[in-house]
A = this chain, B = another copy of it.
Amino acid sequence: MPKIVNHDSRRIQLAEAAWRIIRSKGIDEVSVRNVAEEAGMSLGSLRHYFATHSELLAFSMRLVSDRVESRLRSMEWNGGPRQAMEAIIAELVPLDDDRLAECQVWFAFAGKAIADPSLGAMLREVHDSLHALFRQLTDDLIRLDLTKPGIDAELEAKRMHAMVDGLVVHGVTCPERLTGERIKEVVSYHLDRILR
């Protein structure tokens, strides 16, 4: 079905144009007109892929979580549970330019979601699946008897999720203070503190 593949790849190309505008000019500048121009496409062609501005925005936001999810799914496990935990968190935080771009775009959407219920619902959906992931990872570590005494699975999952998202915020707002190296050190320190 080459036509469908082409349709999807055009939508991704347009969403990536939206990402570039978000990063350089801000999310308020993401109009169908500006995105068409950035992607080198006519407004009429864009309308073929996205009927509305909201649809374009929703797809552009979803592309961030889809990319993270697809990297997490295709991960190859070598090393123990600690290495797995580090590798998973590494996919969520701005350790390199690609992931910094994703985090910036995500963050811009999160700011906009405060007064936009449909973006807010999408954010909460991703929040819930990340929370479930952190809870499952914590349960695994406890089950394998790798954690220090006194760990509470639910509070630990909430704390780790908050720490990771806080590192995203700091990496996005203060990239020269919270470099990739610094972020890795904090994550590693956290794992030292919870694991035997």
Contact surface of A with B, Cβ cutoff 8 Å: 22-29, 104, 107-116, 120, 123-124, 127-128, 131, 150, 152, 155-156, 158-159, 161-167, 169-170, 172-174, 177-178, 182, 185-186, 189-190, 192-194
Contact = CB atoms under 8 A, between A and B. Distances in A.
B127 A170 contact: yes
Contacts of A156: 189
Contacts of A163: 159, 162-163, 166
A14 B170 CA distance: 29
Contacts of A178: 158
Contact of A110 (B111, B192, B194): B111
Q: Give the oligomeric copy count.
A: 2
A112 to B, nearest CB: 6
B27 A111 contact: yes
Q: Shortest 7 CB-CB distances between A and B: which pairs?
A: A111-B111, A162-B166, A166-B166, A26-B115, A165-B166, A155-B189, A28-B28
Nearest to A173: B123
B173 A186 contact: no
Given A26-B114, A127-B170, A127-B174, 17 more contacts: A22-B115, A25-B115, A108-B111, A110-B111, A110-B169, A111-B111, A114-B172, A124-B177, A127-B177, A152-B189, A155-B189, A156-B189, A158-B182, A159-B186, A162-B167, A166-B167, A193-B194
Contact of A158 (B109, B165, B186): B186
Nearest to A21: B115
A20 to B, nearest CB: 11
Contacts of A150: 192-193
Contacts of A158: 178, 182, 186
